[in-house]
Amino acid sequence: MPTLNWIGKEAVEKHHLEIPYRLLEYDDTYSAGDLESGNLLIQGDNLHALKALLPYYAGKIKCIYIDPPYNTGNENWRYNDNVNAPEIKKWLNEVVGKEGEDLTRHDKWLCMMYPRLQLLKKLLSKDGVIFISIDDFEQSTLKILMDEIFGKRNFVTNIIWQKKTGASDAIGIATITEYVLCYVKDVDYSNQIFSKNLESYDLKRYRYKDEHFDTRGPYYVDNLDRGGLQYSDSLNFGINGPDKKILFPNGRDSFENDGWIWKWSKAKVEWALKNNFIEFRKSKSKKTGWAVCYKNYLLVNNENKPIVRSAPMKNLIQDVLNANSAADIKSIFGQNIFKYSKPKELIKRIINYVNCSANCLILDSFSGSGTTGQSVLEINKEDNGNRKFILIELEEDIAKNVTAERLKRVINGYEVKKQNGTLEKVEGLGGGFRYCKLAEPLFDQFGNVREGVTFKQLAYHIFFSETGVPLKENARLNTPLIGKYKGKALYLLFNGILGDKSVNGGNVLTSKVLDALPKYNGEKIIFGMANRISANRLKKEQITFKQIPVEIKTS
């Protein structure tokens, strides 16, 4: 399989592991609506924000949509990852230049994308899917990069989006399309990932009706015989037809091995004849004068069980124009205050590609103006769903004054100024979100647990770092037993969880503390400040003691 090499690749391949775990700090000045909705808007570097989300959301995100910088040289994006490599350090905080002006522009873009894609993959659920908007500047490199990180077998399609109808500034041929690359976490779960398109299913062929129309709907017919496939004598038998004739495959009136067989077994044919799923049609091309057909009903399958007919979604979007994105923003703010946003109808279409349950999580780590958040709220309003979103925006000014403000207005409702100068009230979508920003790392520069860290915060981190999976969302965490995983129980002695906050008290594993712990018959991992129990008893009790902070994984 082809792979990419670029300046700085070796330095960034493991960079996501070096990023410290940071805390999220709520700032409800910019939150809106129902603060317990589960929706988040995080302001900060998305590399650090994604790492901060891992202990809580690893393996839980159903759908990721991102719209990263296209690297055209017009976005004024900067390379800000503090990678400890000389060839990369000199890039810090520099605006990435245009083609021909900046000979390392593609290297910088790949170095920026690589660690973020690594973390996004960890956040995806096993039946999750990621969509990435891109254009011609980096589409080819992104495809190879995604093949390397997500696996070529997990590539689904390259969605073609016709964003405009023409371009007057084109050189020779007008470029009117962009792309949305689509990959799944694991193709083995693909039948659980995507929804079906009920509207695009071809209903025209269901032209016939019979006495079962009320329960089975209309139908069309297919020939019951077939040739050219694997032959079997058991599928080459006679069927009692009209005119007292015995009908064999390929229009024969007797048994012969000419490679033709019935599609159904003898038992299935007998059932189908009894239940009116077979139809005999006159045919001049058949020796017997009759073709044996089976009925395909709209409302039931060929076992007479109810079914909803649908077709796969298509990888071509032609009915959503990019000009709509400016209209989306202007309708909310009265003016177009944000460049490069995508139209919400495009994002809604992409989200609706996914078989997303009522409570699934949708992540956008390049959220910009917040189109993904509004799209999720609108879809929830339309089908009474409870999908949740997590948005990440780097720029503080944009996060507060554009993203958060947009979400606030569509949640609570807002007024639009019409052409005649009157104001029209737009009803709110409901829902809510919490605004938060990246706080200090969980551990200080010396590796100690930072002052102010709560029991819950450290518990989530320890459980994830030990198991690779997050605690359940409704974990109570009111005792030292923080969770169980693969036959082991994890305990945390921290912040006086047992009620004793003295230096040598509840954070130290003593015989008294051990007796007070919730019981578990099996292997136990106990984190604490110190241990006062003998090695023999630890072995007898199947305890592995890990000292805080030195034995906590910090990255």
**Mean pLDDT score, 330-349:** 88
Q: How far is CA 163 from CA 68, 137, 143, 247, 552, in A?
A: 17, 16, 20, 56, 49
Least confident of 216-225, 320-329, 393-402: 320-329
Pick the more confident residue, 442 or 228: 442
Least confident of 367-381, 409-423, 526-540: 409-423
312: confidence class by pLDDT, cuts 50, 70, 90: confident
Task: Quote the mean pLDDT of the chain.
Answer: 91
Rounded CA separation 433/409 (Å): 12
| Backbone dihedral region for residue 308 (phi beyond 0: left; psi -120 to 50: alpha; all else: beta) | beta
Within 198-338, strands assigned E span 219-223, 225-227, 239-240, 246-247, 260-262, 278-282, 290-297, 311-312, 316-317
Model pLDDT, residue 413: 95
Least confident of 34-48, 213-227, 358-372, 409-423: 409-423
Model pLDDT, residue 335: 84
Question: Which CATH architecture is the domain 9-198+314-438 placed in?
Answer: 3-Layer(aba) Sandwich (3.40)
Q: How far is CA 215 from CA 222, 269, 281, in A?
A: 20, 21, 23
Model pLDDT, residue 99: 59
2: confidence class by pLDDT, cuts 50, 70, 90: confident
Model pLDDT, residue 327: 83
Least confident of 104-113, 286-295, 333-342, 486-495: 333-342
Model pLDDT, residue 85: 75
Rounded CA separation 356/194 (Å): 8
Sequence spans of domains, the chain: 9-198+314-438, 213-308, 442-547
Model pLDDT, residue 95: 66
User: What are the tens digits of pLDDT across the range 126-142?
Assistant: 999 999 999 998 999 99
| Backbone dihedral region for residue 44 (phi beyond 0: left; psi -120 to 50: alpha; all else: beta) | left
**Mean pLDDT score, 297-324:** 88
Model pLDDT, residue 405: 96
Q: How far is CA 415 from CA 86, 410, 422, in A?
A: 52, 10, 10
User: What are the tens digits of pLDDT across the range 162-181?
Assistant: 998 877 666 778 889 999 99
Pick the more confident residue, 93 or 302: 302
User: What are the tens digits of pLDDT across the range 181-201?
Assistant: 999 999 999 888 888 776 666
Rounded CA separation 97/44 (Å): 23
Pick the more confident residue, 361 or 203: 361
CB atoms inside a 10 Å sphere around CB 500: 16
**Mean pLDDT score, 63-75:** 88
User: What are the tens digits of pLDDT across the range 47-60?
Assistant: 999 999 999 999 99
Assess whether the previous peptide bond of 2 is cis (omega < 30° from 0): no
The tokens describing 257, both together, are: 């091995």
Rounded CA separation 149/3 (Å): 10
Q: Are 225 and 339 in contact (CB under 8 A)?
A: no
